[in-house]
């Protein structure tokens, strides 16, 4: 257990930041899952709409530091490729 005032403060700050970061990651996962469900459901329009919402969330996560920039870009790229290969409903 911490004994110094500064160490105790650091513990409090870390707990707060961890909570915020977990919420961010959870939010990102939710948006990605919506895209995945739309893709597996075969609904091209819904997949594109979900992707439009998920992309900024992934990039915000990278900017906030909960995801690496390249990880976020890779995830977006793979989702875009999967949505693109779906046949649009005419």
Give 62-76 pLDDT, tens digit per residue.
999 999 999 999 999
Name the packing angle between helices 69-84 and 5-41 (round to 10°): 10
**Residue 37: CB atoms within 10 Å:** 13
Asked, for residue 23, whether it belongs to a domain, the answer is yes
CATH number at residue 45: 1.20.58.110
Alpha-carbon separation of residue 16 from 11, 28, 36, 45, 87 (angstroms): 9, 19, 31, 38, 45
Give 22-66 pLDDT, tens digit per residue.
999 999 999 999 999 999 999 999 999 999 999 999 999 999 999
* pTM for this model (two decimals): 0.85
Structural domain including 55 reads 5-84
Asked, for residue 89, whether it belongs to a domain, the answer is no
Asked, for residue 90, whether it belongs to a domain, the answer is no
What's residue 86's pLDDT? 87
Task: Report the number of distinct structural domains present in the chain.
Answer: 1
Asked, for residue 24, whether it belongs to a domain, the answer is yes
Count of H helices and E strands in the chain?
Answer: 3, 0
């Amino acid at each position: 257990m911490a004994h110094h005032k500064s160490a105790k403060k650091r513990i409090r700050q870390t707990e707060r930041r961890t909570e915020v970061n977990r919420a961010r990651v959870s939010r990102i996962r939710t948006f990605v899952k919506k895209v995945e469900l739309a893709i597996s459901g075969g609904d091209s329009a819904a997949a594109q709409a979900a992707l439009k919402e998920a992309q900024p969330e992934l990039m915000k996560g990278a900017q906030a530091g909960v995801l690496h920039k390249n990880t976020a870009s890779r995830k977006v790229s793979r989702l875009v490729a999967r949505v693109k290969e779906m046949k649009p409903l005419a």
